[in-house]
Amino acid sequence: MVYWVDTETHYIKTALLSLKEFKGAYGGEEQVEVFLQVIREAGLQDKLGFFTLDNYGLNDLILRHIVEEIENFNPVLCRVRCFGYNLNHVAQAFLFGSIAKQEEGQKDKDKAIKRAT
């Protein structure tokens, strides 16, 4: 998914560039190969902006691989943490306790969901 501002209308535009299917096991390198192929086909390799990603470790690996292929790309400056993802973790910690109590918290979470439905 790409987002940009139309320079004439000043409206935010969006487009789905590709929806590739991965078959079998895949890691960061495979995802980067597909990503780079798609942005090169679209001519966007010199126009990369920000990436909104959750805290999954593979996302860091993917950005490090992009650095190797795209000149002047700074993965630290270009990564935006997904607010919704982080808010969800804060809410779960508040409602169900710390990670140390994850199993117990999961049971409480399941009970709370059952009560709500």
Query: pLDDT tens, 87-111?
Result: 887 888 888 876 555 555 556 666 6
Integer Cα distance of 36 and 31 in angstroms: 9
Integer Cα distance of 7 and 30 in angstroms: 34
From residue 94, how far is each of 41, 83, 98, 104 by CA, in Å?
45, 16, 8, 14
Instruction: State which amino acid sits at residue 30.
Output: E
Beta-strand pair 2-5/12-15: antiparallel
Tokens representing 90? 């804060």
Residues of the chain with pLDDT > 90, as a percent, come to 13
Q: Report the candidate in 12, 14, 32 with the shortest Cα–Cα distance to residue 22.
A: 32
Instruction: State which amino acid sits at residue 90.
Output: V
Q: Are 64 and 33 in contact (CB under 8 A)?
A: no
Read off the pTM: 0.62
Residues 6+ apart with CB under 8 A from 112: 95
Residue pLDDT, tens place only, 12-40: 999 998 888 877 777 778 888 888 999 99
